[in-house]
C-alpha cells in the first residue's frame, strides 16, 4: 500500500515489521481524531439545543417599571 508521510510517497510493503506496526498505529490515531472531532461537533450542537430548551423552562423575570414622571 502506498502512503504519504512528510509530503513523500512510500510503499508500506518495504517497511520492517516494526515500521508496519507504527504505520498502523498512526493510521488508527488519525481515524480516532476524526471520530472525536465529529463527536465534539455533535456535543456542541446538543449542548446548544439543551441550553435553548432550558432557557424556555426558566422562570420569567419580573420586569421593573421605572416611573419617570414622579
Residue 20 to residues 3, 9, 23, 31, 37, Cα–Cα distance (Å): 11, 15, 5, 17, 26
What pTM, to 2 d.p., does this model score?
0.69
Residue by residue, pLDDT tens for the chain (70 residues) are 999 999 999 999 999 999 999 999 999 999 999 999 999 999 999 999 999 999 999 998 876 667 776 5
**What is the Cα gyration radius of the chain?**
27
What is the model's pLDDT at position 52?
A: 97
Amino acid at each position: 500500500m502506498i502512503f504519504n508521510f512528510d509530503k513523500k510517497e512510500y510503499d508500506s510493503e518495504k517497511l520492517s515489521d516494526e515500521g508496519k506496526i507504527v504505520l498502523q498505529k498512526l493510521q488508527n490515531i488519525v481515524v480516532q481524531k476524526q471520530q472525536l472531532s465529529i463527536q465534539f461537533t455533535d456535543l456542541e450542537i446538543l449542548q446548544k439545543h439543551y441550553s435553548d430548551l432550558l432557557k424556555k423552562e426558566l422562570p420569567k423575570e419580573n420586569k421593573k417599571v421605572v416611573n419617570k414622571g414622579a
